[in-house]
Chain A
Amino acid sequence: MSALIIDDVAVSRGAGPVIQGVSFTLEQGRVTALVGPNGAGKTSLLDGISGVAQISAGTIRIDGTPIEKLSRVARAKQGIVHIEQGRAVFPSLTVRENLSLTARTPAEIDAALARFPELEKRIDAPTALLSGGEQQMVVLARAFAARPRFLLIDEMSLGLAPVVFMRLLPIVSEIAEQGVGVLLVEQFTHLALGLAEEALVVASGQVSFQGPAATLREDASLLHRAYLGGAAA
């Protein structure tokens, strides 16, 4: 089992660091929830890990190998898949074409689709014509077909009806059970904490809680204080 090791990482945008001093280990087969108020720097951290943005301090390693200098493409080849905030589909590509970008064989496309029977009848439709929930299914299926070692998911729930989101969440657990290290950024804090083993709360660019998700599930006031940037653990 490999691990993605984030060590004292900072990400800067324009003026200065928007998130700093982040250290944690993402282990394969586990879900880590990353929560915090709007503008806390969650997306920026994911960008730094996947290479969308350069990190301004710290190191990122997979097992012993530093990857923070690698390009996005090289990091993807290392098994990091980043599902961006919003609907990251290629609108003019059909569902099948979206999946073919990461699946190596038609059998892998079928395997990815098996989790989302809804998509099968829309398989040759341009993804632009799909509903928001269906588009997010395409994105998840595409990420699954990439056979990631580490999967970074940024606010999958954004703009989705709660029932649709509840339908997608168990699939995240299943993906983790297959040996993928999942970092789950989520606004629905309780749902994310319910799913995760580990939790990370960030507030105003700092980590304000880090530890077992169960600790936050059991102590609502701790979560509340961490959101305000208070309790360090």
Chain B
Amino acid sequence: MLQGALAGLAAGGLYAVLAVCLTLMSRLVRVVNFSQAATGMFGGFVAVWLVTETGVPIWLGSVLGVLLAGVLSGVIGWIAATWLSEADTTTRSAMTVGPLLLLISLSFILFGNKPQPFASIISGPAFTVGGVVISQVTLVTVSLAIVVAVAVRILLTRTAIGTRLRALSERPTTAELLGIPSKPLSIAVWVVTGVISAIAIVVVAPTQSNDAISLAMLIVPAAAAALLGGFKRLDLAVVGGLVLGVLSGLVAQIDEVSLIRNFLPFLFIVVLLLWTQRKEVWDAAR
């Protein structure tokens, strides 16, 4: 039972990293990036192809794949910053569905629709507590989520660039009138979140279902996790990801309910929405 829950923690760490990236994107560049996981998926697939077909070492293939994911994300960001800079969040978010579908079909064309033979970058147990094994993958993803959330917080509150990013997110026009370059800064946010998401996906992919759809659709549990923090709070996004991971690990253990595993993010979202509206008058809120 506990082992099952902890097995879910590796996926939970991945959800948490993606949720932190989604939250950051929503706060800083006004977008719910539906292609957040897809760019990482595509970078990961290219990494696998490089390693298996051209024989580059795993570490190099992974680095190149992660960088490619960052570039792809940057290109999508460039599109948003060039043609949709004045558009509202809804329009900008809808645009990201395009690259999501494009990257899925492109990976079908280039790599087929089978799961990819991801080689593990890290594997094996990290340590054992009370007879329960914690894998290295779990340790790495959970730490990555926490480190990224803390680092981003420090960046935003303690550095000059963070102040500029917050200014841009609050009043983009006013910030530009003060000479703050909105386009390069927002593209940088896209590149960085693209890279971070890809790192998490490449680390976890060997131990998860890793076909194109499964990886690209990690966006669903990640969005559910980000919702816990209202797409604003990084700490709650991390908690949301970890809780969702543990829950799905638990559910997978119990035969009677294992079917609901696929609906778990949806249930999580519904429960969250009901909880956040608990103080509203039923008729007025619905």
Contacts and interface: CB of A to CB of B under 8 A. Distances in A.
A82 B177 contact: yes
Interface stretch (A4-12, A96-104, A113-121): A96-104
A183 interface: no
Majority secondary structure, B binding face: helix
A88 B179 contact: no
B26 to A, nearest CB: 15
A11 to B, nearest CB: 16
B177 A93 contact: no
A72 B170 CA distance: 17
19 contacts: A50-B177, A51-B177, A73-B179, A73-B180, A73-B181, A73-B182, A76-B177, A81-B177, A88-B171, A90-B167, A92-B166, A93-B163, A97-B163, A97-B166, A97-B167, A101-B164, A101-B178, A101-B180, A102-B179
A51 B163 CA distance: 23
A110 interface: no
Nearest to B179: A76
Interface of B: 160, 163-164, 166-167, 170-171, 173-182
Interface in A46-69: 50-52
Contacts of A92: 166, 170
Interface centre among B163, B170, B171, B179 (most CB of A within 10 A): B179
Contacts, number: 56
A88 B174 contact: yes
Query: Lowest 10 A-B CB distances belong to which pairs?
Result: A76-B179, A72-B176, A90-B167, A90-B170, A88-B174, A82-B177, A97-B163, A73-B181, A73-B176, A101-B178
Contact of A93 (B167, B173, B176): B167
Contacts of B176: 51, 71-73, 76
Given A73-B182, A76-B177, 18 more contacts: A50-B177, A51-B176, A52-B177, A73-B176, A76-B176, A76-B179, A88-B174, A90-B166, A90-B167, A90-B170, A92-B166, A92-B170, A93-B166, A93-B170, A97-B163, A101-B167, A142-B178, A146-B179
Contacts of B171: 88, 90
A21 interface: no
Nearest to A80: B177
Contacts of B175: 90, 101
Contacts of A97: 163, 166-167
B232 to A, nearest CB: 11
A197 interface: no
B95 to A, nearest CB: 22
Contacts of A101: 163-164, 167, 175, 178, 180
B177 A72 contact: yes
Interface centre among A77, A81, A93, A101 (most CB of B within 10 A): A101
A108 interface: no
Contacts of A50: 177
A115 B181 CA distance: 28
B175 to A, nearest CB: 8
A96 B166 CA distance: 14
B129 to A, nearest CB: 41
B170 A91 contact: yes
A142 B175 CA distance: 12
Interface centre among B166, B174, B177, B179 (most CB of A within 10 A): B177
A9 B52 CA distance: 63
Contact of A77 (B166, B167, B179): B179
A52 B163 contact: no
A146 B178 contact: yes
Contacts of A71: 176
Interface in A106-151: 142, 146
Contact of A52 (B166, B173, B181): B173
B83 to A, nearest CB: 15
Contacts of B182: 73
Contacts of B181: 73
A91 B171 CA distance: 9
A90 B174 contact: yes
Interface centre among A51, A77, A93 (most CB of B within 10 A): A93
Contacts of B180: 73, 101
Interface centre among A50, A52, A84, A90 (most CB of B within 10 A): A90
B228 to A, nearest CB: 21
A17 B36 CA distance: 42
A51 B176 CA distance: 10
A93 B164 CA distance: 10
